[in-house]
Structure formats: C-alpha cells, structure tokens
Amino acid sequence: MFLPAPPIYPVAGIREIEARVMPGAKPSLMERAGRAAAEDAVRLIIDRPGPILVACGPGNNGGDGFVLARHFRQAGREVLAAFADDPARLPPDAAKALADFRASGGEPVSSLPSAPADGWALVVDALFGIGLGRPLTGRHAEWIAALSHLPAPRLALDMPSGLDADTGRVLGTAFRATNTTTFIALKPGLLTLDGPDHAGDVSVQRLDVDAAGWLEPLGHAVRPSLFSTLLAPRLRNTHKGDYGDAGILGGDAGMCGAALLAARAALWLGAGRVYAGLLDPHAPPVDVARPELMLRPAAALPGHLSALAVGPGLGQSGAAAALLREAIARDVPLVLDADALNLLAADPALQRALAGRAAPTLITPHPAEAGRLLGRDTAAVQADRVAAALELAARYRAHAVLKGCGSIVACTDGHWYINGSGHPGMASAGMGDVLTGLITALLAQGWPADRALIAAVHLHGAAGDRLAREGIGPVGLSASELVDTARGVFNGWMVEANRSGNGG
C-alpha cells in the first residue's frame, strides 16, 4: 500500500501550530520532543557502548537536548551535555529542562569535551534547530564544525543547526548529521538544496500533534499516493487512440538526440502515438532504435495532438521562436523545457501569450532557466527554492517544477510539493529531456496537469534510484538507460495500486 504524502510546513506554520497546541499540552511539547528524540537515538546506539555527547544551545532546541540527556541518564547511560550560554536567558521551558537535567545528577560543561579513547556512542546537535535566522559565527560555528567531523552517529534535533529550515541554505556553517529527528512535521529545508546533504536520514516525530488538523498544509512530500487513483488498469477493449497523440518539438542541428530522448520516453510510458518534430533539415527520417516513433519536419507536426512538448534541442533561432509562438497558440496541454524557456524569458510577447492560454501549461526549468524567467540570478533562485517555484507558477499561470536537489513542484492553486527521489548520478546530459517525455506521455493519456507533473518528476527519480540499486550508476548513468526502467517502475506502481484498491 502506498504511504500517505507527509505534510511540509515552513517555520511560520510550525510556530502557529505550536502556539495553538502549547497552552493545553501536557506533557509539554519540549518534554515530548526530547523523549521522542531519545527513542530515535536508542535505535542508533543499540550496539554502541560508551558516552553520549549532547551539545545544547541557548533556546528551546537546547531544552530538547537537555530532556534527551536526562532520559539517557535515567536509563543508566553516561551523558555529557555541553552548554556555553547564559542559563538565565533560557526560555522558561528550556530553563525547566536544564533544571530537570541537573536534578537527575547531570551538570553541563561549558566547552566541548575531548572524545573518549573509544569514541562517542552518539553525538547530538541541540544547538539551534529551526530557530536560526542568521549566519553562525564564533563559538557556535566552531562547535558545529568540530561536531560534524566526529566519527559517530550524529543526530540533529528538529534541524541540523546552521541549516535554514525554510530554504535548506547553509547559514555560514551547518551540522552534518547522519540522522535528524524532526518534530511535528517536515520542514522544506530538510528536503531541498543543501538539506539532504546535512540532514541524513530524517524521522518525523509528530509528538501527538495532528498538524493538519490545526493548520491545513500547502506543502507535501511527494509519494505515489498523490496520484495512485490515476494508476488504473487498461481496459481490454481498447486501442492506441485511447492513449493520446504526444508531440515533441525540438531537435535543431546537432541536438536531435534531445528530442529523440524525450520522444522515446513518451513512447515507453504509454502514449498511443508519438510524433517528433525536428528542426534539423538533415534529421534522419526514422529513429532506427525506435522505429515506432513518427519523425516529421518541425513545421509538420499534426494538428490533432493530445499533448505537446517544446524545447528539447530546440535552439534559439528565429524559426524556433516562431514555432514556439505557434505552439503556445494551440489549445492543447503544453510542456515547455530547455530553449523554449530561454526564448520565453527573452520575449514579453510570448510571456503574455502564455499567461493567456486556456489549456494547461507546464514548465520545467533548472535554476539558471528559472532565474532568466524571473529576471534574477541563479543564486537568488536557489536562496529560496519554494518561493521561486511558486512565483514561476503564479507569473506564468503554469504548473512548474524547479529542478535540482529536492525538486519543487508548484501548482497554480498555490499548493507545492518536494520530491525526494533521484540521486546525484542523474546530473548528466539528457535527463531533463527524458523527464519532458514522461510528462508529455501522461498528459497525452488524459492525466490532470498537476498530477502528471508530480508523477513524472517522482517517476524520473525513482527510475534512477532503481538503476543505482542494481549497480547501474550512480556515476556514469546515462539518460537513455533511464527510459526502460521508468516504464518498469510505472507498471509496478500500477500493479501495487490495483492490488491495494487505490487504482481508479
């Protein structure tokens, strides 16, 4: 059975939930958090003797650390709690947690102790959590740098300290955890940009708080449950016309491979017919590897398409711009990628035409393309990926995926999703073309535009993950190897959906 898609909240949302829950919370949320983190920690050190080091900070995250430290002391483990801040300035709940730790016989030390001869059983980062909004400097930065290199399981409480909870940006320096126990719900910064490299394996401890019951989430982590009702088995009484005609427009001189990759992906994900319109006047008349594809001159794509993608290998010539203009005018679901996005970014008339479309539009920029579309540099896009993706969706009236580590799917209704499938070996030429083909295939088969984008992004990464498990990559994985595996993963999802009754 497919697991539910967990909600994701920015810090403001978590704070609002906490403010609503805390007045009547018994035991306190801090007590619940420290106990839950201790339960996660036990699983990390089940076979590891030796002392535990807990670095506690000046706020409530430090209080969570003192609760965890107390629980381990009471269980008979040796615990050293490092705390270099003024106890008088602790928030009330954190001050109580420190007092309770002292009552259990513990006493914090003001500097990081040297590692014992046999090393630490566990290192816990309870310095800042989600409460940090500035770059770390001074002693705290030195502590994080030292803790991150200790050869032991490294557990962060709520967020690795120094990692922005909303964006995944490193604020000066950030703790490198092997594991993170996060509280109440996921935060965006755990899942995108630098988050996955710093958070390690993430466990969500809800603390008996029904987050969605207190505040409706706009963000979710992508899981197949988001689109499982569309994974219906095909009827026996069917024909190719029931599965749509997909068009791929691109393939200028020297770049035909990009369009063919996209077309092959669309074919292998079930589109009934696939047409590839190629700009290169010397393009081959047939794809000998996939003779089922129907190759055409770019201007000769049929008018009866069910879905159209423009961009793979398109180039930025005047002819390419004219073809893009014509494609935008078609009343058909439209996917724009690669040079179609670069042409769009440079032409306000195209932008106005796109915003006026009645049929769905989907755009698939990487960060540099997103920057061009938004009129800013790549660093500004990466500084807040969720906000950038939402701005793209709103400005262009299009469902958008901002590709990268933790790809962000932003929909025109304001909902957003973070995808966790995929791996660094997929940072290679042609991967985006395959994604474009997968999206177009689902659109051609009648999937709603937002679900088609979410499913294709997740499938793309899941296929890469399966190949890596089979020893194909991550290093050296090529885009063409992904197509067959994506088909296999998708068919496996269909089997699972219909076995569990989730299929439509």
pLDDT, one tens digit per residue, over 248-292 is: 999 999 999 999 999 999 999 999 999 999 999 999 999 998 999
Q: Which domain holds residue 241?
A: 228-365+418-499
- What local confidence, expressed as pLDDT, does residue 44 receive? 96
Look at residue 396 and tell me if it is in a domain. Answer: no
Confirm whether residue 133 is marked as ligand binding: yes
Confirm whether residue 313 is marked as ligand binding: yes
- Domain total in the chain: 2
Confirm whether residue 258 is marked as ligand binding: yes
Confirm whether residue 404 is marked as ligand binding: yes
Confirm whether residue 62 is marked as ligand binding: yes
CATH number of the domain bearing residue 333: 3.40.1190.20
Average pLDDT taken over every residue of the chain: 96
Confirm whether residue 433 is marked as ligand binding: yes
In the predicted structure, residue 1 carries a pLDDT above the cut 80: no
CATH number of the domain bearing residue 49: 3.40.50.10260
pLDDT one-digit tens code per residue, 445-458: 999 999 999 999 99
Look at residue 197 and tell me if it is in a domain. Answer: yes
The distance from CA 322 to its chain's CA centroid, rounded to whole angstroms, is: 34
133 — pLDDT class (breaks 50, 70, 90): confident
Confirm whether residue 40 is marked as ligand binding: no
Together in a domain, 52 and 131: yes
Confirm whether residue 105 is marked as ligand binding: no
Together in a domain, 291 and 205: no
Confirm whether residue 96 is marked as ligand binding: no
Confirm whether residue 208 is marked as ligand binding: no
- Looking at 186, 217, 248, which one is the last position of a domain? 217
Look at residue 3 and tell me if it is in a domain. Answer: no
The distance from CA 240 to its chain's CA centroid, rounded to whole angstroms, is: 34
Count CB neighbours of 209 within 10 A: 21
Together in a domain, 185 and 248: no
Look at residue 155 and tell me if it is in a domain. Answer: yes
Under 8 Å between Cβ of 81 and 123 = no
Phi and psi torsions of 203, nearest 5°: -115, 130
Confirm whether residue 125 is marked as ligand binding: yes
CA pair distance 469, 477, nearest whole angstrom: 12
The predicted model gives 187-195 an average pLDDT of 98
- What local confidence, expressed as pLDDT, does residue 504 receive? 62
Confirm whether residue 131 is marked as ligand binding: yes
Confirm whether residue 52 is marked as ligand binding: no
Look at residue 8 and tell me if it is in a domain. Answer: no
Confirm whether residue 366 is marked as ligand binding: yes
Confirm whether residue 92 is marked as ligand binding: no
In the predicted structure, residue 311 carries a pLDDT above the cut 80: yes
H-helix segments, 9-59: 11-21, 29-44
The residues, any chain, with a CB within 8 Å of residue 256's CB and separated by 6 or more, are: 278, 280, 283, 284, 313
25 — pLDDT class (breaks 50, 70, 90): confident
130 — pLDDT class (breaks 50, 70, 90): very high
Look at residue 402 and tell me if it is in a domain. Answer: no
Confirm whether residue 129 is marked as ligand binding: yes
Confirm whether residue 405 is marked as ligand binding: yes
pLDDT one-digit tens code per residue, 29-60: 999 999 999 999 999 999 899 999 999 999 99
